[in-house]
Amino acid sequence: MIEPSLSRDGVDGHFLQIRSIVKTYDDVVAVNDVSLDIAKGDIFALLGASGSGKSTLLRMLAGFETPNSGKIILDGEDIVSLAPYRRPINMMFQSYALFPHMTVEQNIAYGLKQDRMPKAMIADKVVQMLRLVHMEKYAKRKPEQLSGGQRQRVALARSLAKSPKLLLLDEPMGALDKKLRNRMQLEVVDIIESVGVTCVMVTHDQEEAMTMANRIAIMEEGSIVQSGTPRDIYEAPNSLQAAEFIGSMNLFRGAITVDAQDHAVIDSDEINNQLYVSYGVTTAIEDKHVVFAVRPEKTLISRDQPQGEYNWCRGVVHDIAYLGGHSVYHIRLNNGKILYSFMVNSDRFADQPTWEEQVYVYWSDDSGLVLRP
């Protein structure tokens, strides 16, 4: 096995290390003992609702807020005590914060001028940045003469002009409408990847985080709930909070009755049949209460009773939300509980179950997850 290199990237191979950061405002704890490791070249998303502390954490990286305690080590250097203008970090603001009295060119050149770079070099760099974001034609325009997407490109160019070690994005798509958002998400990622800069972004939009980032940390009430790749977080949430935060989940509260090496069986009052997962859970003896979770797209609907004794239930179609690509079925069980199930609309006019029809919902043994309540 090869040891991780002990070069510039810090002791354990991480480019940005956030260590036990705490930030309180008066009595309110905004960020509570957060530690994160971010590798060079990562696009890392901090995902959370408003008030989760994700923006405060980002502002501490930029230097606009000072943590009460903890370390932020970037490329081997603790930057906590550095003023914002001394940090090798640039930020793209949510409102873009373009200087309204300057042209696109002057906006991009602003940071370079602060470094007292020779004029000719600044001009070259500005042209290079304009080309990078496809805004060559708009060099002489003022920000007010640009559309939302164009402003964003200028803001991105301005924050990349100084070739920062770390790029921060604050709700990068927050000011754009939905259609433009989808296009710009991919375009921004392309630009960031072509430059190869390490990037930390903040967003409340899980779709945006999953589209743009290769690693995500979910924040709630100032703490990291889970961090990992988008797939890890979606398919293997480590807690109820994480599971409920991303996507939707069908949840059954219950207790473990069988806990073997390669499977576990759960009894729940909320469903007639037992629930089965194809992996061992290793429960503590004193607390057998768990939550069984299965995602709607992993469940299937049929008119015939499924085989086997586990992982199915009977109900009636309560509601159908036709979304084009797929439909969301709301299935009402005997006890009133509603289950969600996605059905892919692969045929244009298929004979699908309709309102008030009796159906069975089932899923395979490896679809479910056992979470701690």
Q: What residue ranges bind another protein (CB under 8 A)?
A: 62-64, 83-85, 89-91, 93-95, 97-101, 110-111, 114-115, 158-159, 162
* Residues near 177 by beta carbon (within 8 Å), at least 6 away in sequence: 148
Nearer to another protein, 83 or 344 (CB): 83
Shorter beta-carbon distance to another protein: residue 102 or 180: 102
Residue pair 256/275 in contact (Cβ under 8 Å)? The answer is no
CB of 72 to another protein, least distance (A): 15
Report the nearest approach of another protein to the CB of residue 121 (Å).
15
Q: Order the strands of the 338-344 sheet from edge to edge.
A: 300-302, 358-362, 312-322, 326-333, 338-344
313-331 as b/e: b if 16+ CB within 10 A = bbbebeeeeeeeeebbbbb
The smaller minimum CB distance to another protein, of residues 25 and 99, is found at: 99
Cα 9 from Cα 6, distance rounded (Å): 7
Residue 142 CB, nearest approach to another protein (Å): 12
Q: Give the shortest CB-122-to-another protein separation in angstroms.
A: 13
Cα torsion 206, 189, 215, 84 to 10°: value is: -100
State in angstroms the smallest separation of the CB of 109 from another protein: 10
DSSP label at residue 143: G
* Shortest CB 84 distance to another protein, Å: 4
Which residue lies nearer to another protein by CB, 92 or 275?
Answer: 92
Query: Using CA atoms in the order 168, 174, 179, 180, what is the torsion angle rounded to 10 degrees?
Result: -50
Cβ proximity to another protein, 125 vs 295, nearer residue: 125
Of residues 162 and 165, the one with the C-beta less far from another protein:
162
